[in-house]
Amino acid sequence: MARPFTAVFNTDAGERSLVAAIRQRAGQGGRPRGTIRLGIGDDCAVLWPRRGHELVVTTDLSLETVHFRRDWHPAGSVGHRCLARGLSDLAAMGARPEAAFLSLAVPGRVPKAWLDEFFRGFFALADRWKVQLAGGDLGKFPRIVADIVLLGSAPKGKALLRSGAKPGDVIYVTGTLGGSAAALQQLRSRRRVTSSPSAGDPHLYPEPRLTIGRKLVGLATACIDLSDGLSTDLGHLCEESGVGAEIVQEALPVDARASLDQALHGGEDYELLFCAPSRTAVPSELAGVSVTAIGRVKKRTSGAQMELLDGRRRKQLRAAGWEHFRSKG
Binding site for Mg ion (CB under 5 A): 89, 225, 227
Helix (H) or strand (E) holding 103: strand 96-106
Q: Which of 152, 177, 171 is nearest to 49 (CA)?
A: 152
Minimum CB distance to Mg ion smaller for 26 or for 220? 220
Provide the minimum distance between the beta carbon of 316 and Mg ion in the complex, in angstroms, as a whole number: 24
Q: Which of 89, 83, 68 is nearest to 121 (CA)?
A: 83
Provide the minimum distance between the beta carbon of 113 and Mg ion in the complex, in angstroms, as a whole number: 32
Minimum CB distance to Mg ion smaller for 39 or for 213? 213
What are the φ/ψ torsions at residue 37 (nearest 5 degrees)?
A: -85, -35
Minimum CB distance to Mg ion smaller for 45 or for 87? 87
DSSP string, 8-24: -TTSHHHHHHHHHHHHH
Q: How far apart are CA 66 and CA 33, in angstroms?
A: 35
Cβ-based neighbour number of residue 313 at 10 Å:
8
Provide the minimum distance between the beta carbon of 137 and Mg ion in the complex, in angstroms, as a whole number: 23
Minimum CB distance to Mg ion smaller for 95 or for 317? 95
Look at residue 151 and give its three-state secondary structure. Answer: strand
Provide the minimum distance between the beta carbon of 138 and Mg ion in the complex, in angstroms, as a whole number: 26
Minimum CB distance to Mg ion smaller for 89 or for 207? 89
Provide the minimum distance between the beta carbon of 68 and Mg ion in the complex, in angstroms, as a whole number: 18
For residue 326, what are the contacts with CB-CB under 8 A and spacing of at least 6?
A: none
